[in-house]
Structure 1
Amino acid sequence: MLYGRDTEQNRIAELLDDARDNGRSGVLLLRGEAGIGKSALLEWAADACAHERVLRVTGYEAESNIAFGGLSQLLWPVRDRVEALPSAQAEALRAALGLGHAADGSGDRFGAGLGLLTLLADLAEDGPVLCLVDDAQWLDAASAEALLFAVRRLAAEGVVVLLAARDDGLIGSGLPEIELKRLENCDALRLLEERNLPADAVHRVLHDAAGNPLALLEFGAAAPSFPGMLPVADRVLASFRAQIAALPERTRELLLIAAAEGRGHLPSLVRAAASFGLDLDDLAEAERLRMVEVTGTGIAFRHPLIRAAAYQGAPTARRITVHRALADAADDPECRVRHRAAAAMGPDEDVAAELQLAAERARGKAAIGVVARLYRQAADLSPDDDARAARLAAAADAILTAGSPEHAEETAREAAELTSDPVLLARLARVRATVEVERGNGRTAATLLLDHAERSAPSDTHAMLRSAAAYAWTSGDTASVQAAASRLTDDPFVTGLAALTIEDYETGLPLLARAVREGGPDAVQAAVILGADEQTLDLASAAATRARRLGQIGSLPDILDALAQAQIALGLHADAEASATEALALARDTGLWHGGTRTAAVLTRLAAIEGDESYLTVPSRTPAGSAAALTDASRALLDLARGRHDDVVHRLEDLFHGPHRHSAGVMIASADLVESAVRLDRPDLAATAQARFTRWATAGGQPWARAIVLRNEALLTDSEPPFVQALNFHDQALRPFEKARTELAYGEWLRRHRRRADARNRLRSALESFERLRATPWLDRVRTELRATGEGTTAAVPAAAALLDRLTPQELQVVKLAAEGTSSREIAAQLFLSPRTVEYHLYKAYPKLGISSRRDLARLSFPTAPATLRTPASPKPPRPRIPVPQPAQGCA
């Protein structure tokens, strides 16, 4: 019987009922101090699901450095189902569970989480599944990361996950949670009634327990009194220590061995106990008092505080002796090294080397968080400064990959103070540079890499210089770009960037085009800078497909960011929103947030086109470097659409005197500056902007850019031929928004020259494009012009494309893949969802599309080019705010 937990029980019951009745998944984190009743609620939930599948895991502090120890405990009963998973996921889970190894020992760190998601969904095909995670704060980092990755993607599988954690566990996880409060006096009294305490003891127990259920039960047994200043958990711990002190010496000794062993692994405990002349009979008194429970396979303490009391109450020397015995008795290398490390009384190279080997075994399972911890331990036990520094460097690399930049920098700085080895210092500089990029300090990052590149390992020098150039480019550090190029004279990407920084477009842009053709590691970024939309779309789509197939989740945010930029340029706004939404979610999961800031900046272009003032005026995080330049260019575009020409000039004059003006995303704003300067009668400013953009467009050779040059020329000369030539170039490109702007400007020119019939033809075409693009402020301008020609503004639009606008970004992704004949299971693997969630999205999408099955999807046309873009048949819901994810603190 649980007292005072009606709210929590009702919340859990709702989740369970929703899973049974509707197939919905749910997750809830129960948070609270030791003894508050978290485990009791999990037991209550397990009893409520007695006829359904229940998977359980309890975190053990002793196993926090055993890679995927928690995940193994959770999935061991269903390990036979792993082989049915998609191959990359099955491989990741086999490695995690110790059933095999990643093919090359370098699997993606989120592969196990994706496999866990699919496995849970498969199990739920047979009925609801309940996962219970107790003491989640002590899960090993790899298990916690996999679990969080999976539960964030549960939706329509019929899986319920309940986690219990101490107050400081899983902070910032983003999971729905409920904090367990201490019991009210009325509920505490009801609980004490079951203890049959003397009346004079009740008041004392109520005071000392302070509403903590475990304290009420334990103090009710012995009715002690404690100083009021002690926290309740400390009072309970003291109570347990007093009870243990009263036990026979042999029982205390065996409890110490069990507490030090930590896992409850009976064979190891028995072997270690035998070395002291002890056996399980010596636990009889502790079993009678329900301190421990012994089964045929294991031993479990009734509460973690009992284990803590048994361990902390023993002298340090005795604990060391016990850990040495457990190391000798260990049945696997991870346990052996854990106990050897616990028994080490000072630096010990043998133990440090063994910890390093354990770290590399964890790396083979892609358990990066565990790798970091083990290398940190190895460093702490290293007697030699050089060895300590090398191990700290390995720890810093792993910590950074695990998504903790600040901690990685601290570790890297600690290592740097211990060594003068230039190769090692260069390795540490790469870590620190990545951290600086996360902070938005690309200049500092570039300087770090340039200073250390020549002293790095030969195999790393080229990559460091390329990274330095890329960081310097995005931060506007032209000197560092040129310094990198002076050392990489045969690299077209780096030398191309350097040429652009001095406005040598004739040299730089062809070099970047060569980098795109050669398809190197920077081909996508080069295509984005060039404004080569179709090449960016093809390259980024291929890279995303490859990353999805291989389960390389950590690389996707950057790829999806580039993909979103191309999709916006091509008018595929729904696809761009889907790509950006996924990129932001993955940035949150990978723990590196710079990509989220950049993606939010990319979305400002979409907001500007659609007239979403709020997205541009209330950024969720202040952008820096090239992200800030993209945001400023987008704000200027919206100012132009609203007729705020002075604001346009103010923003863009500053922008075009800055270092970020040389890429397509910013350079295109030259057209906005020209138009506003013309309207403000500032011909010199317009001519300067036009001259710069003409050189850039001519060197780059992109048809859309040549078209804009001609549109600018028409505005500057107030003549018709450039408009006609511009439209010819637009027909060779796929930027519908820019073509519609040219048609609007041409239509305005024709109306001013009293050619109303010709003007209407151009304006109708512009109206249709702007309606498809939801370009609200531009629609207002076209409608004003059409009314001036004497015509209404209703455009005929195809209905089929309008239906797609009713879909959420994820529904659109799922529907498009399903229409290509991709199975739900294959879609799930690509989008990192479960098959049941894919089916759920399809089920929700069919009514919106006016169809009833997959077969009907073949009748729909999907936007792949401007001719089939979205239409306004139904009002578009407000654009969801997509906040830049903030770094989670203290997760796992």
Structure 2
Amino acid sequence: MRINHTHHGTYGRATELAVIDRVLDGVTAGRGGLLLLHGEPGSGKSALLEHARRRATGLGAGLLGVCGAEEESGCPYAGLHQLLRPLLPRLPGLPAEQAGALSAALRLTGAPPADPALVSMAALTLLTSAAADGGAVGPRGLVCLLDDVQWVDRPTLESVLFAARRLRSDGVALLLAQRDPGPQALEDPVLPRLALPGLDEHAATALLAATAGVRPAAAVARELTARTGGNALSLAELGTMLSERQIQGEETLPVPLPLGPRTRRAFLGPEGALPEPVRLALLVAAAEETGDLATVAAAVARLGLEPSSLEAAEESGLITVMGRRIAFPSPALRTAVHGGAPLARRRRCHLALAEVVRPHERDGRWAGHRAAAALGPDEDVANELERAAAYARSRAQYGTAADLLDRAARLTPDPARRTERLLDSARTAWQAGQASRTEHLVRDALAIADRPVVIGRLLQLRGAVRMRGGVLTDAYRALRSAARSLADEAPDEAAHCLIQAAEAASHAGDPGRFRELSAAAGRLAGGTPMTDGTRLLLTGIDRVVAEDFERGTELITAGIDAAQRAGEPLLVGWAGVGSLYLGEAATAFALFGRVAEAARASGHVGVLPSNLEFTAQLELYSGRMANAEALTDEGLRLARESGQENLAAIHLARRAFMCALRGDERQCREAADEALGTALRRRIGLAVATSRHALACLALMRGAYPEALRLLERVAVAEPGAGHPIVAFFSLPDRIEAAVRSGERQAAQEALASLERWQSRSARSEARALLARSRALLASDDTTAITCFEEALSLHSGSVPIEKARTELYFGETLRRARRRRDARAHLRSAAATFDRVGATPWAERARQELRATGEPARAGASARGTGERLTPQEIRIARLAAEGSTNKEIAAQLFLSPRTVEYHLYKIFPRLGITSRTDLARLYFEDPLLFD
């Protein structure tokens, strides 16, 4: 549902609303209040005054108001008459001298004008007396609202300011709103000022969603915020004027942006009063985005205008010249000047600019101006745009490159060449993380594509986009079709599609698809490292899933070698996945790290969320909770920024699991609920299963064992799209524990049988340790349980510290029940220390409770020694990188932050760690690296 855009002005104004509310609350308490709101046209000043009006009415305060009008700005006291008109019946009650002066000023009598100070005093007396007499205007004070004060006559403003300086405890508030820049600015030092900056991207997104009726794509919201400067009125009108497809990023935003009627009136009123040569010079300045003064001046001369036209534009206040640059007071004004001009005038300006900008420049300015002036296809201009796109791409400016290629395609006469440019634009948009736009470009290209290899490449992009932000079964089908189209002419690309299809199947929780994919990989020609690596990895994983571990290990090992020879990041990443199936954490770490390093260096943001998913999982199971949280948070942020909603759901599920381990019930439930909201709709079995496993762990730690068992049984029996076999396997030990502690021994025995079948084929000691622990929990007597726990501890390798600590906790509980308290203490101390180190607070507290039950007073957790409770996961990553010698710029590039943000974090980190320099940080890291885990 679309909202009426007249209510646009309060979006993103929580701070300003709170300030206004405090002023009004003071009035009802008998205090005075004063506030000047100022900002550019359309920033929401009038809407905030309307909020004040409604709020004051609700509080029982009286209201007076005036709205400045340009045509009355030269009439002395016209504004004061409008403001005080409801109080004029009270004039006879004023002192005679004041009443006479005010009557003369307001032209109520034929008396000559009086002393302005006396008029101001009369106005003050009238306001304060009305506020004191509650029945006159309102039972609880008086609120005066003055809008558009830049058009209020000067004598009125002087009277208002006179009163304002004397209103301290009279129950009268004055709220004023002024346009920036305006013909007269209120600079009185007594006047508290509240500036209204442009909306940030978050508020702009909410406003666009409300006015358009659909949520905008992140890239669209970002671009519209930049192009309007966050102007609320412009954004509100654009929400109603742009198409749904444009708002959702499926169609390119128009250049220039359309101009709404209210935005036109707000911004172009002053421009319309200028002489024609000045207006044309102003349009040239708006058309040249760089603001280069020399370029604009040359184009103005090319149009036959005098240099004085630019000077007059500056004198009007609509532009400013700073050094060699021309700037508009706000992006919204520049957009309004450009978008509000007729096409013929815009073409004249762009053609003039194209004549003075050097052709073939790498930044594409010449081609951009020629394209803006083009009325039909033009291959020469398209070639120049393509050349500029190549330069932008070489500088990792993928969003800019995608724009240039899209414009080039639209100007291309030949259909085949146009298809290739649309494909190139779609690929580049995907590299920039613009998922919705990629889908739109693919659709346009498929409508005219006729070659199988081009169709295959387009379908591959469609599958990639849908895998990240659509239904996974749709993604799988698109990628399989792409592989078939590419198999004959481009077998390496077909192999790439099969790996992506495998990822879609894996996220859906449908590893049964690996048989079909491995067969397709086996039919590929070529014998290259890419095709060989794909065939070996997919077939090997299929064998492991089918419990043929010996053959699966052989194939995956060979596939890892082939993937490293191929060097293709996606295949190398899947070699890391293959390593996970073999339990080779160190190999997986190295392979995922290699992919991440390449992605960070190249700026390919879209690759990282998937890579970080696996890396965070490895960090978690290695007991490095802070690392895992930081990687998950980064993956979630990048997934959201690049529109990869499915991966965002997976990262949210992982966050929920880590919050459960930390015992943070609120954040666990929030993350799990949000993840499930997307995952159930999109059939993301991995996120569904992980979220439910997280909620089950939370229930286990709370002692809600039947609830935990119910959740884990749902994980165990879920079909593809609603569960995941790997999560079902990894959750078996928790399911056994929940069943035992719920008194459901039959359910526990069935889960144990499943665990035994899986582990009987595994050579991993850690897996056998979990099996031994599960047998201990099911043991019918303490002696058998103790034997099983001892076996489990002998098998724990330490690669998953939290699981070893849980074994020691349960072992300690059993030993205490068997009255072996001294033996129990050693295991409970060790468990508590590990839980503290990894940040699993509820488990640590449970271990300390058991210690107290043995008669040993348990001390507070040792985690306070580390950074875990003092630094956020993001801060820990920054601290570690800085300690390892990375500069702020290098850290910023690694984490996709600004160097200034890194500097800000380090400014906060140093005092928390009790240090003052990077040297101290490096020393601390060298002495105790666990502080940074």
TM-score (norm 1): 0.64
Change (3 A) 1:272 1:815: closer
CA 1:210–1:679: 2 relative to 1, 3 Å: closer
- The code of the aligned residue for 2:515 comes to Q
Which residues in structure 2 correspond to 1:66-81 (within 5 Å)? none
Deviation per CA, 1:699-742: give whole Å up to 9, x if none.
44222111111222333344243322211111x23222211222
> What per-residue deviation string (whole Å, max 9, x for no partner) do you get for residues 18-64 of structure 1?
xxxxxxxxxxxx98546999xxxxxxxxxxxxxxxxxxxxxxxxxxx
Residue of structure 1 aligned with 2:541, choices 497, 517, 523: 497
1:274 Cα deviation from its structure 2 partner = 7.1
Moved more, 283-292 or 710-719: 283-292
| SS of residue in 2 equivalent to 1:347 | coil
Pair 1:767 & 2:796 matched: no
CA gap 1:192/1:563 in 2 versus in 1, 3 angstroms: farther
- The aligned counterpart of 2:378 is 348
Quote the residue 2:873 is aligned against: 809
Instruction: Assess, with a 3 A threshold, how the Cα gap between structure 1 residues 417 and 784 changes in structure 2: closer, same or farther.
Output: same
Using the TM superposition, give the Cα deviation of residue 282 of structure 1 relative to its aligned residue in structure 2, in angstroms.
Answer: 7.9
Alignment of 1:51-200 (within 5 A): 184-186=147-149, 188-189=151-152
Aligned positions, number: 670
Which of 218, 242, 265 is matched with 1:234 structurally?
265
- Per-residue CA deviation, residues 218-246 of structure 1 (Å, 9 max, x unaligned), is 9xxxxxxxxxx96363265356345435x
Residue 855 of structure 1 deviates from its aligned partner by: 4.5
Asked if 1:611 is matched to 2:663, the reply is: yes
Which of the residues 716, 723, 748 maps onto 1:686? 748
Distance 1:575 1:35, change over 3 A: closer
1:745 pairs, out of 803, 810, 822, with: 810
Indicate if the aligned counterparts of 2:354 and 2:367 stay in contact, CA closer than 8 A: yes
How far did residue 524 of structure 1 move? 2.7
Aligned equivalent of 2:798 = 733
The DSSP-based 3-state class of the residue aligned with 2:485 is coil
Distance 2:921 2:737 in 1: 46
1:634 and 2:687 correspond: no
Match of 2:275 among 240, 244, 254: 244
1:602 corresponds to which residue?
Answer: 654
Match of 2:767 among 678, 702, 705: 705
State the alpha-carbon separation in 2 of the partners of residues 238 and 513 from structure 1: 72
Alpha-carbon shift at residue 759 of structure 1 (Å)? 3.6
- Residue 716 of structure 1 is matched in structure 2 by 778
The unaligned stretches of length 5 or more in structure 2 are: 1-14, 20-37, 46-144, 159-175, 186-259, 523-531, 565-571
Q: Cα deviations across residues 333-368 of structure 1 (Å, max 9, x unaligned)?
A: 323322332332223333333333332232223222
Q: Which residue of 1 aligns with 2:577?
A: 525
The answer for the alignment partner of 2:619 in structure 1 is 567
Deviation at 1:483, TM superposition (A): 2.0
Distance 2:335 2:915 in 1: 61
By relative contact order (CA 8 Å, sep 6+), the higher-ranking structure is 1
**Separation in 2, partners of 1:795, 1:773:** 17
Q: Is the Cα–Cα contact under 8 Å of residues 39 and 179 in structure 2 kept in the other structure?
A: no
Equivalent residue number for residue 413 of structure 1: 443
Match in the other structure for 2:55: none
**Matched residues in 2 for 1:831 and 1:252: separation?**
45
Q: Distance in 1 between matches of 2:346 and 2:387?
A: 25
Q: 1:516 to 1:869 in 2, by over 3 A?
A: farther
2:418 maps to what in 1? Answer: 388
C-alpha distance after superposition, 1:431-462 (max 9, x if no partner): 22222123252221111000121212514111
- Once the two structures are TM-superposed, the CA of residue 666 in structure 1 deviates from its matched residue by 4.4
Per-residue CA distance 1:99-153 (angstroms, 9 max, x = gap)? xxxxxxxxxxxxxxxxxxxxxxxxxxxxxxxxxxxxxxxxxxxxxxxxxxxxxxx
Mapped to 2, the partners of 1:511 and 1:476 lie a distance apart of: 22
Matched ranges for 1:205-220 at <5 A: 212=179
Q: How does 1:414-433 map to 2 (within 5 A)?
A: 414-433=444-463
Q: Tell me the alpha carbon deviations over residues 669-700 of structure 1, each in whole angstroms, 9 at most, x when there is no partner.
A: 11112223334454543343223323433444
Question: What amino acid sits opposite 2:791 in the alignment?
Answer: Q
Specify whether residues 430 and 766 from structure 1 end up closer, same or farther in structure 2 by C-alpha distance, changes over 3 A only: same
Instruction: Please show how residues 275-294 of structure 1 align to structure 2 within 5 Å.
Output: 280=307
Whichever residue aligns with residue 358 of structure 2, its letter is D
Tell me: CA distance 1:698–1:538, structure 2 relative to 1, closer, same or farther (3 Å).
Answer: farther
Work out the percentage of aligned pairs sharing the same amino acid: 35
Question: Could you tell me how far apart the structure 2 residues matched to 1:294 and 1:840 are?
Answer: 32
Q: Which amino acid aligns with 1:436?
A: R
Q: 1:816·1:862 contact (CA, 8 Å) conserved in 2?
A: no
Task: Give the Cα–Cα distance (whole angstroms) in 2 for the partners of residues 279 and 185 of structure 1.
Answer: 35
> Distance in 1 between the 2:274 and 2:583 partners?
74
Residue by residue over 1:735-774, the C-alpha shift from the partner in whole angstroms, topping out at 9 and shown as x without a partner, is 2221122223333444444544434443343333334444
Q: Structure 2: how far apart are the matches of 1:32 and 1:368?
A: 32
Q: Find the aligned partners of 1:298 and 1:571 in 2 and give their Cα distance.
A: 54
- Closer/same/farther in 2, CA of residues 676 and 617 from structure 1, 3 Å limit: same
* Cα offset, 1:259, TM superposition: 6.3
Q: In the alignment, is the contact (CA less than 8 A) between 1:472 and 1:478 conserved in 2?
A: yes
- CA RMSD across the alignment: 4.6
1:330 to 2:357 alignment: yes
2:867·2:876 contact (CA, 8 Å) conserved in 1?
no
How much does 1:468 deviate?
0.6
TM-score of the pair, normalised by structure 2: 0.62
Aligned to 1:791: 855
How many angstroms apart in 2 are the aligned matches of 1:526 and 1:743?
A: 31
Cα distance in 2, alignment partners of residues 717 and 707 from structure 1: 15
Q: How does 1:16-55 map to 2 (within 5 A)?
A: 32-33=40-41
The Cα of 1:469 is off from its aligned counterpart by 0.8
> Tell me, what secondary structure is at the counterpart of 2:835?
helix
Partner SS, residue 382 of structure 1:
coil
CA deviation vs aligned residue, 1:273-329 (integer Å, no higher than 9, x gap): 777766657878878878888999677789989988987898755764664454344
Contact 1:527 1:533 in 2 (8 A): yes
Unaligned 5+ segments in structure 1 are 1-6, 12-29, 38-181, 196-208, 219-228, 871-892
| Contact kept? 1:645, 1:679, Cα under 8 Å | yes
Distance 1:372 1:748, change over 3 A: same
My pick for the range that moved more, 762-771 or 291-300, is 291-300
1:875-890 pair list within 5 angstroms: none
Tell me which of 697, 718, 722 is aligned to 1:658: 718
Query: Cα–Cα, structure 1 residues 193 and 467, in superposed 2: closer, same or farther, change >3 Å?
Result: same
Structure with larger Rg: 2
Deviates more, 1:592-601 or 1:502-511: 502-511
User: Of 453, 478, 483, which residue of structure 2 is paired with 1:448?
Assistant: 478
Shifted more, 268-277 versus 611-620: the winner is 268-277
- 2:665 and 2:762 map into 1 onto residues whose CA distance is 32
Q: Note closer, same or farther for the CA distance 1:210–1:769 as it changes in structure 2 (3 Å cut).
A: closer
Superposition map of 1:266-277 within 5 A: none
Equivalent residue number for residue 622 of structure 1: 675
Question: In the superposition, relative to structure 1, how do residues 473 and 814 fare at CA in structure 2: closer, same or farther (>3 Å)?
Answer: closer
2:548 is the counterpart of 1:488 = no
What residue number does 1:84 align with? Answer: none
Q: Which whole-Å CA distance do the structure 2 matches of 1:372 and 1:348 have between them?
A: 18
- Name the amino acid aligned to 2:634: E
Q: Distance in 2 between matches of 1:857 and 1:244?
A: 65
Residue 784 of structure 1 deviates from its aligned partner by: 5.3
- Alpha carbons 2:828, 2:850 under 8 Å: kept: yes
